[in-house]
Amino acid sequence: MLNPAAANEPELKTPKKEKTIPTTNWTIDASHSGIHFSVRHLIIARVRGKFANFKGTLELDEVDLTKSKVDVSIDVASINTSDDKRDAHLRSGDFFDAERFPTATFRSTSITKSGDEYLVKGDLNVHGVTKEVDLHATFEGKGKDAWGGERSAFQAKTSINREDWGMKFNMPLEGGGVVVGTKIDLEFEVEAVKAK
């Protein structure tokens, strides 16, 4: 015989476990990626350059990229503006002081999405100074490579004031202005390989 009290008790349901999507690890393929910059010269022109040596990892949530993480390390001594004398000056204490601060790093702290663009906030450490910057990034897609691997591509841009990182060297021009601009435009072209 059924217990009348038990008949009135609500049926207990086992809560459904949410399916979790694990993040995947990716390594930046430096030979198919680039970190470029440009800066005003004599106010009227623009000098462009790049960093030849860098490495980094991406921890991607492939369902929701806003839950991902980015970690990049740059060898500042590998700066290349196609002028040896200028590059040596940029490595000196007037700018990067590469002997004391050989590495620049970027580590993401949050990612949000707006339309097709992602705002990647993170800590940029250069010249011994860490400040938050915003990268405006786009996901360019993913696909298989010729060796059975999987690759993803991203682009990102930001602008910073180099003086905020303690690089304040300049020379005034006779007619006004300065030799080197303070605003630096940075561009990242990233191709990353999924860990197997």
Tell me: pLDDT of 185 over 70.
yes
| Residue 12 within a domain | no
Q: CA-CA distance, 194 to 144, in Å (whole number)? A: 10
pLDDT score, position 147: 84
Q: Are 78 and 52 in contact (CB under 8 A)?
A: yes
Task: State pLDDT tens for residues 42-74.
Answer: 777 889 999 999 999 999 998 999 999 999 999
Is residue 2 included in any domain, yes or no? no
Residue 131 has pLDDT above 80, yes or no: yes
CA 57 to chain centre: 10
Asked whether residue 9 is assigned to any structural domain, the reply reads no
The reply to whether 169 falls in a domain is: yes
Is residue 83, in this structure, part of any structural domain at all?
yes
Please state the rounded mean pLDDT for residues 9-38: 78
Which domain does 180 fall in, by range?
22-194
**83-112, pLDDT tens digit by residue?**
999 999 999 999 999 999 999 999 999 999
Q: How confident is the model at residue 4 (pLDDT cuts 50, 70, 90)?
A: low
Q: Of residues 5 and 41, which shows the higher confidence score?
A: 41
For residue 72, being part of any structural domain is answered with yes
Read off the CATH number of the domain in which 163 is found: 2.40.128.110
139-182 tens-digit pLDDT: 999 999 888 889 999 999 999 999 999 999 888 777 766 678 89
Q: Are 110 and 149 in contact (CB under 8 A)?
A: no
- Decide if 153 contacts 134 (C-beta within 8 A): no
Would the pLDDT of 196 be above 80?
Answer: yes
Q: Does 11 reside within a domain?
A: no
Under 8 Å between Cβ of 164 and 183: no
Supply the pLDDT for residue 19: 56
The residue that leads in pLDDT, 4 or 92, is 92
pLDDT given at position 1: 46
Percent of the chain clearing pLDDT 90 (strictly above): 72
Which residues, 6+ apart, have CB-to-CB distance to 184 below 8 Å?
37, 38, 39, 159, 160, 161, 162
Give yes or no for a contact between 127 and 103, defined as CB atoms under 8 angstroms apart.
no
Kindly state whether residue 10 falls inside one of the protein's structural domains: no
pLDDT for residue 2 is more than 60: no
Number of separate domains in the chain: 1
